[in-house]
Structure 1
Amino acid sequence: MDFFRLLSRGAKLDHDSEIFTKKQEKKADDSERIVRELDFFHTKTPSHEHDDNKSKKQKNKADEDDTDQKPKFAKIESTIPYRKSNIKGSDVPQPLTTFEELGPRFGLSEQLLSRIRFATPTQIQAEAIPGILHDRDILACAPTGSGKTLAYVLPLVELIRKVNENEKSSSAGMIKGLILVPTKELATQVLEQFTILTASGRAGVKANVLSKSLLARLTSDSSDRPRPGDVLIATPLRLVRALNVIGLDSLRHLVLDEADRLFDTTFAEQTDQILATIAKTRQSSLQKTFLSATMPSSIETMALNLMVDPLRIFISPGRAAATVDQKLVFAGSESGKLVAIRQMVKGGELPPPVLIFVQSVERANALMHELVYDGVNVDVIHGERTESQRKAVVEKFKKAQVWVLICTDVFARGIDVHGVNVVINYDVPQSAQAYIHRIGRTGRAGRTGKAVTFFTKEDVEAVKIVVNVMRESGCEVQEWMTRMGKADKQMKKQLKRKPAERDEIGTQQKKLKAVEKKHMKAERDKREEAKRKKEEKKRRKKKVAAAAASSDKEDEEEED
């Protein structure tokens, strides 16, 4: 959006106000009322507003009457900085300035609006929510932590609520909204957002995650199989197995969260199968919303081809959140990485909670054992852990029972853990998209965060991608970084296909243990050799004694 469009949002001049009349009566709160009238962006809220008109008793009574409409939590003031945006499409809807205007504009209830945790909409929410409520196809790209989940969950709740009211029992329990996500953790997080907005049950919208247990019940031969609900949240691999038993005839809204991941080689086959099934079975028009923090041009072209008259919302595409302080550290070797982490722990540079990303399951386990040996409160999460184990680890991390969490890229996308202070890339990521999503776990919702990336001589090419993202995000780039040059397309493809070969995780202590183990083995071999020689000596003595006895016996026979 341009500057003038931003300034035009929400301007409201009340000509009946005393400020714009000829009355010049001086009152104690004149200056405050002027500020309130001219505060187009609603940044100031006087603490004693309305106190002159209500007594304390009247206010308490009003509070009791509105208990069910007020949230049980304080509104979060978003401090996300304004970022350059590019909005394209025909007849672009007027963006939001406040959540409250959703009531008169689209008929959202006060009870639903009271469940929103944020005081003001972020850029992506201001643009995407009106677009979805106008039933437009949306292709959105916005930085991590900018509120993309709420941007589609809120309008879905309202649109499906209206459908349920109009159709009443005819479509009860039928899937009207389908949300595809790449990981189970992200599916759980999206469900939490639905739960917050529909906590009182008045919205009349039921959402479910396609879990292993729900899939088993849906595919069972039982006559009382459950219905998936109004909104189904699923990963592609699990949804493909349920396509034959769930009905998509009533589907009206399709959301692909982390769309670039869902269209890459890992999930492309399953995503194509799901889209083909939807195209064959649905009977109503389908509104599509594709979102991600990164959107390569190839994925963008593919997504736009699936849409009708789409609204393209791109906010700082290909950039990390401005609230993340990014830093590169040359560790020299694998041993140097561990030394660097131990120095950061001793120096208080790792205030929990902390996320550490590595490139493989084996390295995650090895690093955890090293840090556990150092007495660090640490755990690990990766694709080889069971669903229940991963869920338990995430809950412990959110409750601060685990201070440092080591993970692979399975935890890099979409997961919102409030208050992550530091993200460490123990291994340099293989692509700019992976790097942006990794460091996006910190600095969310306007909070500040820190991201540290260790690199060695094996990462000379891969680190160029990180430097480019730092430059695009407005971070300080030192002269030695600029001299490294840029990675070409061929190198980027090669890095995605095959990660850098690295030595095993270890330090000098590990080498000393190996030397000690070798010394113990030598001592054991020495003892065994001495024992063998002793037994050999005994065998020789027995042999000599037997030979002597045999000779004496022969002499006796000759005398006879």
Structure 2
Amino acid sequence: MDIFKVLTRGTNIKSNSINKNYTKTTKKSSIEEDKELDFFHNQTKKNTSSNDHVEDEIIENEDISMKELLVRNHFNGKLIYNIDNHLLNVDKPTEIQSKSIKLSIESENTDVVGISPTGTGKTLAFMIPLISKIIMNSNDSNMNSLQSIIIAPTNDLAKQIFQVTENIVQGIVLNHKQNSKSNCKLEAQLLNSKLSNKLLFENVNNVKMPQILISTPKRLISALNKENTDVILEHLKVFVIDEFDQLFSNDFIKQTEKLLSLLDDRQHVNKWMYSATKPDERVFNNIMKKHMNKPELIECKYSSKLTSNIVKPKITESLVFVGNEQGKLLQLRQLQQNSQFIPPMLIFLESHSRCMALYNELKYNSIPMATLHSKMSINEREKVINEFKEGKVWVIITTDIMARGLDINGIRTIINYDIPKNKELYIHRLGRVGRGLTSYNTRGNKKIECECITLYSKIDAKDVIPIAKVMKQHGAEGIPDWLVEGRVRENKNKKDDKKMKREKISTVPGIIRKERRMKKEMIDASRKRKQEGIVRPEKKQKKI
């Protein structure tokens, strides 16, 4: 039976209206289509209690596919078709997706906090209920208005969310009923400078708004002012915060608080927050108490199985002591010689200047590599990511701008050249590896393994302790107990701590660097004397 032929015949399948309209078939319908309609609607002809029981069984059943889950729970047919045909690696729902869909069915208006490991499909977990909510609640008065806002910490992540959303909303028509006066297509848009200028300098009532708007917090705040805020947010139903742990950090918390304060008086707006890790407990509890109304917490633990039959490849986590900065470079050379330098690969550093320094040291190794950091333009970053996906670039040397949310399939190796600042950041970096891979290749005869290598030196002695604990929890081998227990020798002399600064990345021997520095100082001193007009006395010639 072609169920999509039934679902996409110009009607939106809703649990409330399905029993009333299922017997109405047009004369133009063929006998086969009528039989399909009868078959489909007869399956839904049950009392409320039995329906709830069946829905619970469907969601809890691990063997059910995403397509079947959405069909049996009466989600929009075009939405199901788009997910099934336009998204890769969506076979069976993950735990976070199943629980989010179940919650959207049971309680339509509620705040949600979703916490699930990286790579478990959190974007789809909030996007499916979001689109379904817009479809079900659209009418003649609000269908051309902004109904949901999604914010993300970086432009790259916001664009990725937009690309996923664009794929699954195509062809969906809002308010598509026989008695409706008008209808329109469901649209998603990335907030850009063109739309921002229209909102700021034109009459907002004349600006065509998408139903779903995706942005970073700073850009969204810049597009709102006292005159246009009430009009823009008038029909808003859902406000989604992706990677909320980062948006509640010191870098973003003022911006996030400002946006949430605009919604405090709007009781009809649901707030959904998703991330792989929690922020600081005190900050998190304060935000929930201040800005959310009895939120439902969905917390999923890490599992080697993404779904019932898709097993992630084995990820080996290792911790390597290298002594100093030169030791890190030597370790990279050794990995390359021992055939452990397996692309596609990401190398994480703490700043863009260190990224460029490492790139300059490695660019002559006959390995296609590139850098990606916040000082690059959006177009430059997009070009690097596209070349990485196409296989033109094998290694990306980057900062933590790539640590969160970016969904790039096939990454085999992660190297933490500079140790992460905290364990949450380590988890996010680790989450980039192994996406879209299974434990065996397509022929099933070669086991695929991934690796995450963390390098640390003397100055990382304190920062490595929480990282070592996380590795131990993940079952990593070779992690010393004294490091996990935090038995690290501390310097009593505070002056020594100040001297412990991270050295520059260079393979040039220390004696040569010293000579270069002295030569540069002499040249600078000579230029300074010339500018000040100081003439150096000539040396007296010795008489022969």
Call closer, same or farther: CA 1:224–1:393 in 2, change over 3 Å: farther
Call closer, same or farther: CA 1:383–1:228 in 2, change over 3 Å: farther
Q: Name the structure 1 match of 2:299.
A: 314
Query: 1:262, 1:216 → 2: CA distance?
Result: 25
Pairwise CA distance, 1:207: 0.8
Is 1:295 aligned to residue 262 of structure 2? no
Pairwise CA distance, 1:142: 0.8
Paired letter, 2:501: E
Q: Name the structure 1 match of 2:142.
A: 171
Pairwise CA distance, 1:172: 3.5
SS at match of 1:233: strand
SS at match of 1:269: helix
Paired letter, 1:267: F
Query: 2:375, 2:539 → 1: CA distance?
Result: 52
- 1:98-146 Cα deviation digits (max 9, x unpaired): 3212223233314245245311001111111221343232211111111
Q: Name the structure 2 match of 1:504.
A: 504
Q: Name the structure 2 match of 1:266.
A: 251
> What TM-score, normalized to structure 1?
0.68
Call closer, same or farther: CA 1:219–1:400 in 2, change over 3 Å: farther
Q: 122, 125, 131: which is aligned to 2:103?
A: 131
SS at match of 2:100: helix
Call closer, same or farther: CA 1:396–1:313 in 2, change over 3 Å: same
Q: Name the structure 2 match of 1:385.
A: 376
Q: Name the structure 1 match of 2:446.
A: none
Paired letter, 2:273: F
Do 1:428 and 1:453's aligned partners in 2 also have CA atoms closer than 8 Å?
A: yes
CA RMSD of aligned residues (A): 3.7
Paired letter, 1:360: S
Query: 1:272, 1:320 → 2: CA distance?
Result: 36
Pairwise CA distance, 1:445: 4.9
Query: 1:521, 1:106 → 2: CA distance?
Result: 75
Is 1:205 aligned to residue 186 of structure 2? yes
- 1:23-67 Cα deviation digits (max 9, x unpaired): xxxxxxxxxxxxxxxxxxxxxxxxxxxxxxxxxxxxxxx9xxxxx
Paired letter, 2:252: F
Q: Name the structure 1 match of 2:288.
A: 304
Pairwise CA distance, 1:249: 1.0
Do 2:59 and 2:69's aligned partners in 1 also have CA atoms closer than 8 Å?
A: no
SS at match of 1:131: helix
Q: Name the structure 2 match of 1:155.
A: 129
- 1:348-396 Cα deviation digits (max 9, x unpaired): 2122211111111211111111111333322112122222222222222
Query: 2:100, 2:269 → 1: CA distance?
Result: 17
SS at match of 1:218: helix
Q: 44, 64, 81: which is aligned to 1:111?
A: 81
Pairwise CA distance, 1:332: 1.5
Paired letter, 1:180: I
Is 1:349 aligned to residue 317 of structure 2? no
Do 1:93 and 1:130's aligned partners in 2 also have CA atoms closer than 8 Å?
A: no
Do 1:174 and 1:230's aligned partners in 2 also have CA atoms closer than 8 Å?
A: yes
Do 1:132 and 1:138's aligned partners in 2 also have CA atoms closer than 8 Å?
A: no
Paired letter, 2:195: L
SS at match of 1:373: coil
**Identity score, percent:** 30
Paired letter, 1:198: V
Consecutive unaligned residues of structure 1, counting only runs of 5 or more, are 1-61, 63-90, 492-497, 523-534, 541-560
- Report the number of matched residues: 429
Query: 1:318, 1:294 → 2: CA distance?
Result: 15
Q: Name the structure 1 match of 2:464.
A: 463
> What TM-score, normalized to structure 2?
0.70
Q: Radius of gyration: which is bigger?
A: 1
Q: 233, 238, 241: which is aligned to 1:248?
A: 233
Deviates more, 1:172-181 or 1:367-376: 367-376
Query: 1:386, 1:359 → 2: CA distance?
Result: 19
SS at match of 1:171: coil
Pairwise CA distance, 1:224: 9.4
Query: 1:500, 1:249 → 2: CA distance?
Result: 55
Query: 1:219, 1:318 → 2: CA distance?
Result: 47
Do 1:419 and 1:442's aligned partners in 2 also have CA atoms closer than 8 Å?
A: yes
Do 1:378 and 1:404's aligned partners in 2 also have CA atoms closer than 8 Å?
A: yes
Do 2:157 and 2:406's aligned partners in 1 also have CA atoms closer than 8 Å?
A: yes
